[in-house]
Amino acid sequence: MSDQARDESLWILALAILAVIAPVVLGVVVLTGMHDTDVHLSDAARTGHRLDHGQVDDRLTSDLIALQQDETALFQRQVDYGGLTSHDPHYDVGRVEADLAVASGPVGDSARARTDLTTIADELPPYTEVEATAVTDNQQGKPVGAAYLRAGFGYLKQQILPKAADIREIEQNRLRADTGQADGFPWLLVTTVVVVLGCLVLTHEVLASRTHRRFNAGVLIAGALILLLGAGAIATNLASGHDVETRVRSQTDAAVRLTKVRDDADRAELDDELTLADHDEDCTTSPRPPFTALCDNEQDAQGVLKTGGPLVRDLEAVRSLLPASAQTAPQRWYTAEGELPILQNLSELANKPSGGKPPLRYGSSQKLSVLDPYTDPSKAPSTSAYFASVNKPTMQATKLAWSRYTAAVRDARGGLGTLAWAGLFLGLAAGLAAGLGCRPRVVEYWSRGEDAA
């Protein structure tokens, strides 16, 4: 056999081997691609479950808020627990510690999240000590107890709750990352299918031109299997990507935005509870008339509720998901802030002219009625109804969004795991068919070369 004939024989052999290997490579590409997509969606589903209403990431924040609410109620000495421990701050602390233990598992691979969890665990004892001091002082009739209560809440709001919110943000970012990796056009798959088909066509034509067998059933069967595999894999990827793009992402965004609404409402409600606990002691720091400056809690509540404030903006972002009563609640809530039984509102009422007449004196019998909300808790106005107008439908919408998210992820996953292995087997079958089709032609070509030699 001449060198030229030998080189051509090796070229034919290499082409036949490539025709066998290429379909297998495509099967591996399908397997790894679909498997990776399935893993990302599975991870996204687990993360979404942790963020769902009532689950670990959501529960940590909720239990911290419940802890402050129960501390405030205990401070006011207006709560009869009736033997139930669920409203005992000590019980709340146990729940928060349990939440921290549960959360340390799934978020433990994030150094930032681990730091947040450690900070919450370390800051919890100082916070509860300050709150305990507030309750003790108040029970002993010491006015300084109110200052401790405000200090404790400020500690929670500035040091602890932001860490819990950061953990949730980390999980939300992880959710978006997993969702993003499961989306996109399958360029690698399409390119591999085109290359493999081109390889089979080239092999068929080269062997047909150098042997006496024009029709190569094995290579044609391999090509048909590749077309079937490629079309099925591409269609499955596109369908999964469409579900991710149109349903998973939209429900993720809805749930995250609704969570922001709940955070805003919780923040304003907590501020109101703290304000009512001590009737918002005078915070005037300059030589002005007394009881004219609002303390931090009431300022913060009004800042959240006012037109253009965080709650109004975040409600606007989910307008289609909540009833009209939730959209109008901040305005009504903000108006109600001016009727709360706090010292600043009392000062304004006592000095406001009525019917063009000069302000009435504090001791006037005609003014005693304005003191009712301050002396009789049953007559005190409350913002709880406005909070419920926002919080209740928001919680329901959040649960619905996460439920739809779970369904969307399930549909996006479909049978990706099963189809991935089916793609590998089809690739192997196509490679086997190509091998069986190429073998007799390669043998024929080599036999002719040896005979010529």
pLDDT tens, position by position, 17-52: 888 999 999 999 999 999 888 888 888 888 888 888
pLDDT score, position 108: 64
Task: Evaluate whether 254 touches 317 at the Cβ level (below 8 Å).
Answer: no
- CB neighbours (10 Å) of residue 8? 16
Task: Say how far apart CA 257 and CA 429 lie, in whole Å.
Answer: 49
Q: Which residue is listed with tokens 């009525």?
A: 354
Question: Is the Cβ–Cβ distance between 41 and 409 less than 8 Å?
Answer: yes
Is residue 406 within 8 Å of 45, Cβ to Cβ? yes
Q: How far apart are CA 51 and CA 362, in angstroms?
A: 53
Contact 87, 72 (CB under 8 A): no
Residues 6 or more apart whose Cβ sits within 8 Å of residue 303? 309, 310
Which amino acid is it at 406? T
Q: Give the Cα separation of 433 and 349 in Å (integer).
A: 92
Confidence of residue 450 (pLDDT cuts 50, 70, 90): very low
Question: Average of pLDDT values for 396-425?
Answer: 89
Distance CA 83, CA 115 (A): 37
pLDDT digits (tens, 9 = 90+) for 105-161: 877 678 899 999 999 999 999 999 998 888 888 878 787 888 888 888 888 988 899
Q: Contact 297/436 with Cβ under 8 angstroms? A: no
Range with the lowest mean pLDDT among 54-63, 92-101, 229-238? Answer: 54-63
**Domain segments of the chain as ranges:** 15-284+292-352+362-452
* Count of residues making up the chain: 453
pLDDT of residue 6: 63
Residues whose CB is less than 8 angstroms from the CB of residue 54 and which lie 6 or more positions away in sequence, other chains included:
62
Residue (of 230, 229, 239, 235) closest to 183 by Cα position: 239
Average pLDDT over residues 277-292: 58
The residues, ordered by sequence, that sit 6+ positions from 58 with a Cβ below 8 Å of its Cβ are 51, 52, 168, 259
The percent of residues in the chain predicted with pLDDT above 90, rounded, is: 34
Structure tokens at 138: 């108040």
Mean pLDDT of the chain: 82
Give the pLDDT of residue 341: 74
CA distance 23 to 233: 14
**pLDDT interval class at 453 (50, 70, 90):** very low
Residues 6+ apart with CB under 8 A from 93: 67, 124, 128
At residue 452, the pLDDT reads 42
Rounded average pLDDT over 292-307: 82
pLDDT digits (tens, 9 = 90+) for 163-211: 999 999 998 888 888 888 888 788 899 999 999 999 999 888 888 877 6
At 362, the pLDDT band (50, 70, 90 cuts) reads very low
Band (pLDDT 50/70/90 cuts) for residue 309 is: very high
**Mean pLDDT of the 354-361 span:** 50
Contacts of 371 (CB under 8 A, 6+ apart): 346
CA–CA distances in Å: residue 42 to residues 168, 243, 250, 344, 438: 19, 14, 18, 54, 41
Query: Span 360-386, mean pLDDT?
Result: 61
Structure-token pair, residue 54: 């009532």
Residue type, 148: Y
403: phi then psi, degrees, rounded to nearest 5: -65, -45
Check pLDDT > 80 for residue 331: yes
Of 27-31, 55-59, 207-211, 423-427, give the lowest mean pLDDT range.
207-211
Residue % of the chain over a pLDDT of 70: 81
- 296 vs 271: CA distance, rounded Å: 9
Name residue 101's amino acid: A
**Are the CB atoms for 60 and 102 separated by under 8 Å?**
no
